[in-house]
Chains A and B, each alone.
Chain A
Amino acid sequence: MAERKKNVDAVIIGYGWTGAILAKTLTDAGLSVVALERGPGRDTSPDFEFPRIADELKYGVRGDLWQPLAKETVTVRHTPNDVAAPYRKYGSFVLGNGVGGAGVHWNGQLWRASPEDLNLRSHIEGRYGKKFVPTDMTIQDYPVSFAELEPHFDHFEKVCGVSGTAGNLRGQIMPGGNPFEGPRSDEFPTPPLPPIFAAQIFEKAAAELGYKSFPCPAANSSIAYTNPYGVRLGPCNLCGFCERFGCFLYSKASPQTTILPILEGRSNLEVRTNAYVTKILVDNTGKTATGVLYVDESGREVEQPAGLVVLSAFQMHNVRLLLLSKIGTPYDPVSGKGVVGKNYAYQMCAQTAAYFSEDVEINPFIGAGAAGQRVIDEFNSDHFDHSQVGFIGGSLIYAGATGGRPIDQMMVPPGTPAWGDGWKAAIRKHYRHSAPLGTQGSVMSYRDRYLSLDPTYTDSHGLPLLRITFDWHDNEYKMAAYSAAKMEEVVRAMKPEKQATILMRPGNHYDVRIYQSTHTTGGAIMGSNPSNSVINRYSQSWDVSNLFVYGASAFPQNIGYNPTGLLAGLAYFSAAKLRDTYLKSPGPLVQA
């Protein structure tokens, strides 16, 4: 029999970015809130202290900040007819764990979506005709516009102290920024750091080709900065231990460095760590959540009753918990009906390594997750005419090292032996003189790509794992090849001695062994009505009106940008509606 805790106004499942955003909103409004986090508590000190954090093996390879797969993983198969195999070792994506979630080990590349990403289907059909969208492609519009989200994008950038250069300020195209971005109401809160050397070479080459490169929007603050909540961040020093690490300098924005300090000590907030939620409880009507069930760190089952449930775990965990709780109709790929698990999507990325001569000092170990990098956005979203290219979507193209980690990021040219004298000579010759470039490409959603519960494999509590059914479609092979060709063109203009590209080509299946992107999306998507989505424009469950679901699980299809800016914008948009409307008069915010 589960121990039953005292009722609270709201319970939050998952204490990462969106959990922190909602914890602030709800406690500001005077609600009593319990936040449940499956992993341990973590803070800059002592968990990310220098020099212990500068340990590639521990954090970059073994992944001590990641979700322990031994306890819970996912299973993966390529088609609905295959048997799924468990994701036993990290490869394709790395999941966060603990307070701060993936917001601790992320890179801090903080993008907004392009305006047309948010009304993608109607935009594409309007510009290219209805037949342009393949029949098995299940993309749909967000039920919220760029203009509605813009104030929330702007606010989150200020919370994070994002460094960058505006490209479109209130409709005016600005020199040095991204001319393809939607109109922003304000400049970035902090100026960009100068480009690192590889990014400088890229910038020059891109300019020669007529492309407008700009600094990657970086939640790696460039200066001492105080955010709107009064929390202070410090300048990034390009330490090289950013991606996959926690930041010891209070530079990389994370819940710990931006929001959690002001929540510390609030009497109406209790954070319980090592609390593994197993079920969202609903009453006998099935339309009202009554709280959650979780297993605490001693292994006891605990019931936490609550009037409002905030589901703010990672994308995959949100979907799994909805399925385990039997909330909403699971998606059926045969009939196309049902919504929970629908429209799982990913990203397709290509990489080019540029090998320079030994007088070109790339210093690959100097770099951050985002600061110092340069990007071109000409070939992303619908920034170019797609009528002749035969695909929908695109990629951003970026240059800039994220630490030159010797175990994980050593680059040697094709043909180099993997071991022996030849390898040893090659690593000396190339390590300091090679630069990585990449595309980050969108993946559309399809009828046969979805999430469900695995019939065989279970977590350490005996509950079914989430099952991913995913493989690439022709649209994405074409998109990636097109983007990679553009990247290679820029790299040639950078004049390396050699260059080599890794690209998924038709016939290459989705491969879980190779790191590609942790930007997994969908499964609890937002839409205009209950037949096409799990949540409405305010992130509110259509089925259970006192349940709100946050994160990239809301994305109806993926974008060619990192997801954190968009998912935080959606969370703040929802939080404002909760504060202004829902808390005064609970109930459905959109009539089905």
Chain B
Amino acid sequence: MGNSSLFDRRQFLLGVVPAATLGTLGVAGCSSNGPTPPSSSYAPTYFNTAEWAFINAAVARLIPSDGAGPGGVDAGVPEFMDRQMELPYGHGAYFYMKGPFLDNSPPTLGYQLRHTPREIYRFGIAAANSATQKSQGKDFPLLSVADQDHFLAAMEKGEVTFATVPAAVFFAQLLTNTKEGYFADPLYGGNRGLVAWKWIGFPGARADFTDWIDQAGRRYPYGAVSISGATDG
């Protein structure tokens, strides 16, 4: 675990979660719905069948569809993630990927693995399914949602050990990409129908508040709009 970057963006400053206390975060509330079916008719390009089932199941727990507000699967997050894997990001093209790769660098010096985001998923999903097979005789998507939540939390805290990639690194990428897909412009495949923006009250690509400069403190009344101009996705 000494060489992973769990928390690599400003959100951890603004999210007001001191790195030192992240390990103590509570587990999300559990519900008792059955496994969520894969999203829509989208056919994944990068993820294989088992991986696609895992992504859909995990996203359904990270941002659940039950309760108030849109779920990650309904919002198209799995499609977003698959499409990202085909883009330069998935191939690690945004990162410095030359070696040597240090094994014992302190976490504060950031991500030091040789793996691209595609590889993190390939290795991480296989390791996760094999871990739940070993402990419960089932792949992750077939676990009860309570067991899924428990296993996700264990990965988050680094309480499970994978031979290939650190579980916490894999989980951090999964959660980061899930939130990216939820909140990014729908042009990337997630946030379908602008559901995540509507849920929080973000007006998206509106980008003109001239008429609100003198109305500070009043609720902004206009709904979300995407880069394509859609107001309902």
Residues of A participating in the B interface, judged by any CB pair closer than 8 Å: 50-52, 54-57, 61-63, 68-70, 72-73, 76-78, 83-91, 193-197, 200, 235, 237-241, 248, 351, 353, 360-361, 363, 365-366, 372, 404, 406-415, 417-425, 427-428, 431-432, 436, 456-458, 500-502, 508-516
Chain A residue at minimum C-beta to C-beta distance from B84? A57
Chain B nearest CB, measured from A412 CB (Å): 6
Within 8 A of A (CB), among B161-196: 175, 178-180, 183-185, 187-188, 196
Determine the main DSSP class of B at the interface with A: loop
Chain B residues with CB under 8 Å of A88's CB are 95-97, 110-112
B11 touches A409 (CB 8 A): yes
**18 CB < 8 A contacts A-B:** A52-B227, A56-B184, A57-B184, A63-B94, A85-B105, A89-B111, A239-B207, A406-B200, A418-B175, A419-B62, A419-B63, A424-B64, A428-B199, A432-B200, A457-B98, A508-B20, A512-B108, A514-B10
B29 touches A456 (CB 8 A): no
In the complex the two chains form, what is the Cα distance from A171 to B220 in whole Å?
Answer: 42
Within 8 A of A (CB), among B1-50: 5-21, 25-31
B197 within 8 Å of A by Cβ?
yes
Chain B residue at minimum C-beta to C-beta distance from A66? B94
B93 touches A56 (CB 8 A): no
Chain B residues with CB under 8 Å of A411's CB are 14-16
B27 touches A361 (CB 8 A): no
Chain B residue at minimum C-beta to C-beta distance from A431? B200
In the complex the two chains form, what is the Cα distance from A91 to B9 in whole Å?
Answer: 6
Chain B residues with CB under 8 Å of A418's CB are 17, 25, 28, 156, 175
Chain A nearest CB, measured from B27 CB (Å): 7
B151 within 8 Å of A by Cβ?
no
Within 8 A of A (CB), among B215-229: 216-220, 227, 229
In the complex the two chains form, what is the Cα distance from A194 to B70 in whole Å?
Answer: 36
A417 touches B28 (CB 8 A): yes
Q: Assuming A85-B105, A510-B108, is B28 touching A406 (CB within 8 A)?
A: no
Most central of B25, B202, B214, B220 by chain A CB within 10 Å: B202
Chain A residues with CB under 8 Å of B205's CB are 50-51, 54-55
Q: How many residue pairs at the A-B interface have CB separations less than 8 Å?
A: 264
In the complex the two chains form, what is the Cα distance from A423 to B184 in whole Å?
Answer: 17
Number of B interface residues in the complex (CB < 8 A): 86
Interface contacts beyond A70-B96, A458-B98: sample of 14 additional A-B pairs, CB < 8 Å, sorted by A: A55-B227, A57-B185, A85-B110, A85-B112, A87-B110, A91-B5, A237-B209, A365-B202, A365-B220, A417-B29, A420-B28, A421-B67, A427-B200, A431-B200
A412 touches B89 (CB 8 A): no
A514 touches B9 (CB 8 A): yes
A408 touches B10 (CB 8 A): yes
Chain A nearest CB, measured from B229 CB (Å): 7
Chain A residues with CB under 8 Å of B17's CB are 414, 418
In the complex the two chains form, what is the Cα distance from A458 to B99 in whole Å?
Answer: 9
A406 touches B109 (CB 8 A): no
A366 touches B220 (CB 8 A): yes
B61 within 8 Å of A by Cβ?
yes
In the complex the two chains form, what is the Cα distance from A583 to B92 in whole Å?
Answer: 48
* 8 Å CB contact of B149 from A235, A237, A361, A420: A420
Chain B nearest CB, measured from A431 CB (Å): 4
In the complex the two chains form, what is the Cα distance from A51 to B66 in whole Å?
Answer: 33
B8 touches A91 (CB 8 A): yes
In the complex the two chains form, what is the Cα distance from A193 to B212 in whole Å?
Answer: 12
Chain A residue at minimum C-beta to C-beta distance from B102? A85
Chain A nearest CB, measured from B84 CB (Å): 9
State the 6 A-B residue pairs at the shortest beta-carbon distance, nearest first. A420-B28, A515-B10, A54-B205, A197-B216, A406-B183, A239-B207
In the complex the two chains form, what is the Cα distance from A432 to B218 in whole Å?
Answer: 11
Chain B residues with CB under 8 Å of A238's CB are 209-210, 212-213
Chain A residues with CB under 8 Å of B158's CB are none
In the complex the two chains form, what is the Cα distance from A360 to B217 in whole Å?
Answer: 7
A425 touches B26 (CB 8 A): no
Chain A residues with CB under 8 Å of B218's CB are 361
A515 touches B183 (CB 8 A): no
Chain B residues with CB under 8 Å of A428's CB are 68-69, 199-201
B199 touches A513 (CB 8 A): no
Within 8 A of A (CB), among B117-144: none
* 8 Å CB contact of B183 from A56, A91, A372, A508: A56
Chain B nearest CB, measured from A501 CB (Å): 7
B217 touches A197 (CB 8 A): yes
Chain A residues with CB under 8 Å of B233's CB are none
Chain B residues with CB under 8 Å of A410's CB are 11, 14-15, 179, 183
Chain A nearest CB, measured from B150 CB (Å): 12
Chain A residues with CB under 8 Å of B28's CB are 417-423
In the complex the two chains form, what is the Cα distance from A35 to B142 in whole Å?
Answer: 61
Chain B nearest CB, measured from A219 CB (Å): 18
Chain A residues with CB under 8 Å of B66's CB are 421
In the complex the two chains form, what is the Cα distance from A363 to B67 in whole Å?
Answer: 25
Q: Assuming A85-B112, A415-B26, is B208 touching A239 (CB within 8 A)?
A: yes
Chain B residue at minimum C-beta to C-beta distance from A235? B210
Chain A residue at minimum C-beta to C-beta distance from B21? A414
B94 touches A69 (CB 8 A): yes
A200 touches B216 (CB 8 A): yes
A239 touches B10 (CB 8 A): no
B179 touches A407 (CB 8 A): yes
* 8 Å CB contact of B216 from A54, A196, A237: A196
B220 touches A407 (CB 8 A): no
Q: Assuming A89-B8, A366-B220, A513-B8, is B201 touching A417 (CB within 8 A)?
A: no
* 8 Å CB contact of A513 from B5, B29, B217: B5
In the complex the two chains form, what is the Cα distance from A103 to B106 in whole Å?
Answer: 32
In the complex the two chains form, what is the Cα distance from A56 to B179 in whole Å?
Answer: 12
A514 touches B227 (CB 8 A): no
B219 touches A361 (CB 8 A): yes
Most central of A50, A237, A353 by chain B CB within 10 Å: A237
* 8 Å CB contact of B64 from A353, A414, A420: A420
* 8 Å CB contact of B210 from A237, A406, A419: A237
In the complex the two chains form, what is the Cα distance from A76 to B106 in whole Å?
Answer: 11
In the complex the two chains form, what is the Cα distance from A432 to B175 in whole Å?
Answer: 22
B201 touches A76 (CB 8 A): no
A420 touches B62 (CB 8 A): yes
Chain B nearest CB, measured from A546 CB (Å): 34
Chain A residues with CB under 8 Å of B18's CB are 414, 502
B185 touches A55 (CB 8 A): yes
Chain A residues with CB under 8 Å of B5's CB are 89, 91, 513
* 8 Å CB contact of B202 from A70, A196, A406: A406
In the complex the two chains form, what is the Cα distance from A474 to B203 in whole Å?
Answer: 43
A89 touches B31 (CB 8 A): no
Chain A residue at minimum C-beta to C-beta distance from B217? A197
Chain B residue at minimum C-beta to C-beta distance from A407? B183
B202 touches A404 (CB 8 A): yes
Chain A residue at minimum C-beta to C-beta distance from B6? A513
* 8 Å CB contact of A193 from B97, B197, B206, B213: B213
Chain B nearest CB, measured from A515 CB (Å): 4
* 8 Å CB contact of A414 from B16, B106, B219, B220: B16
